[in-house]
Structure 1
Amino acid sequence: MTAFAYIGAALAEIAGCFAFWAWLRLDKSVWWVAPGMLALALFAYLLTLIEAEHAGRTYAAYGGVYVVSAIAWLWIIEGAKPDRWDVIGAAVCLGGAAIILFGPRPA
């Protein structure tokens, strides 16, 4: 469930932000903002589904998933193939997220 919530949140956040980008930078209709706002609300909701004691740790770990998802968006949606630095950076971020999520903590 955690992986699906993180991935869903990342896709919702990127889609919501892209809606504003499309409106303000790509000269799309202001009506792009409405589904963008819904996507951003979905993003916030999905992060609340993650079982964690502290919201900050949830958000910190989410950052790594977001970076990987943004690189995937770059490639799949925008058609720009990631370079090796994109891939290395995303791997480092995802590794950091794994340390945050799976690091041993006192009970």
Structure 2
Amino acid sequence: MLKTLAVFFLAGLCEIGGGYLMWQWLKSGRPGWTGLVGALLLALYGWVATWQPTSFGKTYAVYGAIFILMSLAWAAYFDGFRPDRFDVYGGVIILLGIAVVLFWPRL
């Protein structure tokens, strides 16, 4: 279970970090190497996601939920975004959904 969550977390860091660097390059006038590193991280994200043992569809469904949570955390840490109570409620609901899809016992 921990390996599965660690791979999702690593994939999230690659995708969100890569997207953030591309954003900084294109929207904030950062140097070209920022965009290059962002592009490399985005490519790495695609590779890291394949490390999951589940099917493509299930992997991306769960990852989508993790992406939402990590994006809120990234925005709070790097952009000064302050989640309100509805962001927190939504995050809790998403965590419950991840638990059901990924870890609920199957018959």
Structure 2-normalised TM-score? 0.87
Q: CA deviation at 1:49?
A: 1.0
Alpha-carbon distance between aligned partners in 1 of 2:19 and 2:89, rounded to the nearest angstrom = 24
Unaligned runs of 5+ in 2: none
Identity of aligned residues (%): 36
**8 Å CA contact retained: 1:63, 1:93:** no
Q: 2:44 aligns to what?
A: 42
**8 Å CA contact retained: 2:26, 2:35:** no
Q: 2:78 aligns to what?
A: 77
Q: 1:9 aligns to what?
A: 11
Secondary structure of 2:53's counterpart equals coil
Q: 1:18 aligns to what?
A: 20
Unaligned runs of 5+ in 1: none
* Number of residue pairs aligned between Structure 1 and Structure 2: 105
Q: 2:31 aligns to what?
A: 29
Runs of 4 or more, structure 1, over 6 Å off, are: none
Alpha-carbon distance between aligned partners in 1 of 2:89 and 2:27, rounded to the nearest angstrom = 28
For residues 50-75 of structure 1, what are the alpha-carbon distances to aligned partners after superposition, in whole Å with 9 as ceiling and x for unaligned? Answer: 111x1110110111111111111011
**8 Å CA contact retained: 1:71, 1:82:** yes
Q: CA deviation at 1:79?
A: 2.1
